[in-house]
Amino acid sequence: MTLTRTILSLSLATLCTAAAATPKAPADVDGARIRAADQEPGNWMSHGRTYDEQRHSPLARIDAGNVGRLGLAWTVKLDVDRGVEATPIVVDGVMYTTGAWSIVYALDARTGKRLWTFDPKVPGENLGQGCCDTVNRGVAVWKGKVYVGSFDGRLIALDAKTGKVAWSVDTILDRKKSYTVTGAPRIVKGKVLIGNGGAEFGVRGYITAYDAETGKQAWRFYTVPGDPALPPEDKAMEIALKTWSGNNWVKWGGGGTVWDSMAYDPELDLLYIGTGNGSPWNHQFRSEGKGDNLFLSSIVALRPDTGEYVWHYQTTPSDMWDYTATQHIVLADIAIDGAPRKVLMQAPKNGFFYVLDRTNGKLLSAKNFVPINWATHVDLATGRPVVSADVNYLTGPKVVIPSFLGAHNWQPMSFNPKTGLVYLPAQESVAGLEAQKQPLFIPHKSVVNLGVEVPDLPEDPKVEAEIRSAWKGRLIAWDPVKQAPAWTQEYTAPWNGGTLSTAGNLVFQGTADGRAVAYAADTGKKLWDARVNSGAMAAPVTYEVGGEQYVTFMVGWGGAFPGVAGPLSHSTRVQAEARVVTFKLGARGKLPPPKQAPQGLPPLREVTASADQLKTARTMFNGFCGSCHGLNAVSGSVYPDLRYMTPKKHEQYVAVVSGSRLNRGMPNFASVLKPEDMELIRQYIVKRAHDLKGQLAQAGGK
Ligand code: HEC
């Protein structure tokens, strides 16, 4: 009896100790915990780590002295080899992250062991309804749930322990339009915030807040006016409506989508959102060439409880170059002219680095961080850019710098409070733009509506190489006070990764050519470099488990650039291969060899079309197929390179173009292309295969 009792109490004691050692409930995160994130630097609990989205970690076990000893701790292959843009969330030893098609993975952060996977089963046909690949920028967590915005526009709450759906809501205003969700939700005061994309396809932008517990809609803020025949939804839409002309944008959507950035200041209780470009791009078609078109390309401050408008700053009034201001927003308190200021920093696509007073939206300074030609400067008195006449393509074709891919795109920057520098993944790019003579409005979900001709890229390999050399990447350590670079690192290709800053005096960045790199934060000296197999675009994160610091890179080439600009992305020579790659000091893991590019052309068909027909075919190919299979039928390694189609694939061609691979993301063109158009496009593909054969023979001396 006594013995039994002793055993019983012993086992009870063991049980109790076990309970004490059990980790906290999964994803047990709330606002207080996120606000106090610096007290538990081992976790990465929200998209930008902290509500100010600085992406600076106080962890310093890995530092400039020992970073050279980083090795592969673990790697996990993701299910789909396409663009990966997610920032992982790490809480109490568990990592929650996403891959293409909004698939969510919960992993043991120490070993990479898969705990659960959630596939929202986005219908493949939705691929054609987005401009830029089926990417996803990650999840949010809150009180035991994990939240993901699915590519087809659902906001889904999952049980953090099991990955089972807790609730799911439809965030889409109008299912007849091509809306997509790629952004990471943010959670402020118990509300999940999510926007969407689609401004290339004719949608109206907005952001919606949902109750984190129940999924009930709390508020919606539109970024551009609706039909002027109806009363404006709120005060903000009254302000905005005055800056639009005519009513054409109702049909075209207007744009201004909130597809990525948000930040929150708990003291001021202001939520900041970045808005996208105009839909269509062409200001003439959109707004009779008149008006600033609020709130396109703007930073807007809202009350997170109600969605009420507080202030806005428009970076590109009357946008006509796809100059989104959705790029990453960073909040910081920095000294300007000796006085501490609460600032908001953004480096949008248009190439200017903006420092705003975040209490009221007043512009403090702006300076271009790469060479640009669309504006000479920003007038500090008016806060407006001084636009140069040379880029108004309504008067004829124009060369515009930066291109629609931007001087900086979605790849997040980071801010190190100690060095006072912003680590900005910038790029140089150029585009030729020309207005359509007549608005070519095609009400088709998978066809872009820009109001401009599809940017042309000459087929001549020499010209192509010349243009390619004008597209470059650059990591800039930008001093936001001096508005000047402290140091820079050059890359031969654009579309490099977002950055992570750490208290170990380090900056981490993935590269388009498939490497993970660390630089000294103060001097820019390169300290470490490792192969990761595919382009690494997402911003890395760092965390600690069991007293060890880890650095994770989400790897996977894709997104807008290698899709449309296939030929230009070839300097990177990487294949799409999606993985989570995690490093720690002294580890010695090995990655498998990278995937190989297609080798050797199959036997080719004859080209029977005339030179004139091929010209038309080229326009059709670039218009309908180029955004995925690459302009001039040169793929950027994410989607199949059609020049390599075997005779067997040619047999399937008409079926594939007519929807047989819809569930794998190849759109159905049966309603927009007649059979003879499909054949004509095929002729162009075959012609380009012959061109390639010629080039290969020349290069090989055969
Ligand atoms: C929105 C992106 C997108 C667009 C636009 C697009 N495709 Fe595709 N296409 C895909 C994807 C993704 C696949 C691969 C599907 C799979 O995995 O089977 C594909 C596959 C194909 C294939 C099969 C190739 C092979 O090697 O199996 C052909 C042929 C093809 N596309 C032709 C076209 C043509 C012609 C157009 C223009 C009329 C076009 N595609 C437009 C995404 C696209």
**pLDDT tens-place string over residues 523-572:** 999 999 999 999 999 999 999 999 999 999 999 999 989 887 878 887 77
Residue with the nearest Cα to atom 2 of ligand 1?
628
- What pLDDT sits at residue 157? 98
- What pLDDT sits at residue 9? 38
Atom of ligand 1 nearest to the CA of 644: 26
- What pLDDT sits at residue 606? 96
Which region among 319-333, 403-417, 419-433, 619-633 has the lowest average model confidence (pLDDT)?
A: 619-633
Residue with the nearest Cα to atom 9 of ligand 1?
666
**What's the gap in Å between 440 CA and the centre of ligand 1?**
23
How many Cβ atoms sit within 10 Å of the Cβ of residue 457? Answer: 23
Q: Is the CB of 508 under 6 A from ligand 1?
A: no
Give CA–CA dist 648/307, Å, rounded: 55
Position 27 confidence tier, pLDDT thresholds 50, 70, 90: very high
Exposed, middle or buried by CB within 10 Å (0-12, 13-18, 19+), for 313? buried
Residue with the nearest Cα to atom 19 of ligand 1?
666
How large a percentage of the chain has pLDDT more than 90? Answer: 81
- What pLDDT sits at residue 310? 98
**What's the gap in Å between 480 CA and the centre of ligand 1?**
44
Q: Is the CB of 645 under 6 A from ligand 1?
A: yes
Position 461 confidence tier, pLDDT thresholds 50, 70, 90: confident
pLDDT above 70 for 702: no
- What pLDDT sits at residue 442? 61
Average confidence (pLDDT) over 327-342: 96
Residue with the nearest Cα to atom 41 of ligand 1?
625
- What pLDDT sits at residue 701? 56
The pLDDT tens digits of the residues spanning 108-120 come to: 999 999 999 999 9
**What's the gap in Å between 220 CA and the centre of ligand 1?**
36
Position 4 confidence tier, pLDDT thresholds 50, 70, 90: very low
Average confidence (pLDDT) over 203-223: 98
Distances (CA, A) of 235 to 214, 226, 256, 512: 28, 13, 17, 44
Top mutation candidate among 442, 629, 657, 673 for ligand 1, by most atoms within 8 Å of CB: 629
- What pLDDT sits at residue 87? 98
Among candidates 354, 284, 369, which has minimal Cα distance to 319?
284
Give CA–CA dist 210/192, Å, rounded: 5
Among candidates 524, 517, 576, 522, which has minimal Cα distance to 551?
517
Q: Is the CB of 187 under 6 A from ligand 1?
A: no
Mean pLDDT of the chain: 93
Give CA–CA dist 85/261, Å, rounded: 13
Contact 220, 208 (CB under 8 A): yes
The pLDDT tens digits of the residues spanning 157-177 come to: 999 999 999 999 999 999 988
Residue with the nearest Cα to atom 13 of ligand 1?
666
With a CB cutoff of 8 Å and minimum separation 6, the contacts of 160 are 25, 26, 27, 94, 96, 106, 141, 144, 145, 146
Position 268 confidence tier, pLDDT thresholds 50, 70, 90: very high
pLDDT above 90 for 467: no
Contact 117, 133 (CB under 8 A): no
With a CB cutoff of 8 Å and minimum separation 6, the contacts of 583 are 70, 71, 72, 73, 516, 530, 550, 551, 552, 553
Distances (CA, A) of 234 to 54, 309, 691, 695: 32, 9, 57, 59
Q: Write 191-194 long-range contacts (CB < 8 A, 24+).
A: 191/218, 191/304, 191/305, 192/140, 192/142, 192/147, 192/155, 192/157, 193/262, 193/271, 193/304, 194/149, 194/155
* Residue 581 backbone zone (phi > 0: left; psi -120 to 50: alpha; other: beta): beta
Q: Is the CB of 665 under 6 A from ligand 1?
A: yes
Residue with the nearest Cα to atom 20 of ligand 1?
666
pLDDT above 70 for 1: no
- What pLDDT sits at residue 445? 62
Atom of ligand 1 nearest to the CA of 653: 29
Average confidence (pLDDT) over 322-345: 97
Position 598 confidence tier, pLDDT thresholds 50, 70, 90: confident
The pLDDT tens digits of the residues spanning 475-521 come to: 999 999 999 999 999 999 999 999 999 999 999 999 999 999 999 99
How many Cβ atoms sit within 10 Å of the Cβ of residue 43? Answer: 22
pLDDT above 70 for 441: no
Q: What angle do CA 212, 214, 215 make, to 5 degrees?
A: 70
Among candidates 33, 45, 145, which has minimal Cα distance to 88?
45
Average confidence (pLDDT) over 72-89: 97
Average confidence (pLDDT) over 352-367: 98
Position 443 confidence tier, pLDDT thresholds 50, 70, 90: low
Report CA torsion sign: 203, 207, 210, 216: negative
Report CA torsion sign: 7, 13, 16, 22: negative
Residue with the nearest Cα to atom 16 of ligand 1?
664
Residue with the nearest Cα to atom 40 of ligand 1?
625
Give CA–CA dist 227/220, Å, rounded: 17
Top mutation candidate among 80, 127, 201, 666 for ligand 1, by most atoms within 8 Å of CB: 666
pLDDT above 70 for 339: yes
- What pLDDT sits at residue 239? 98
- What pLDDT sits at residue 453? 81
pLDDT above 90 for 8: no
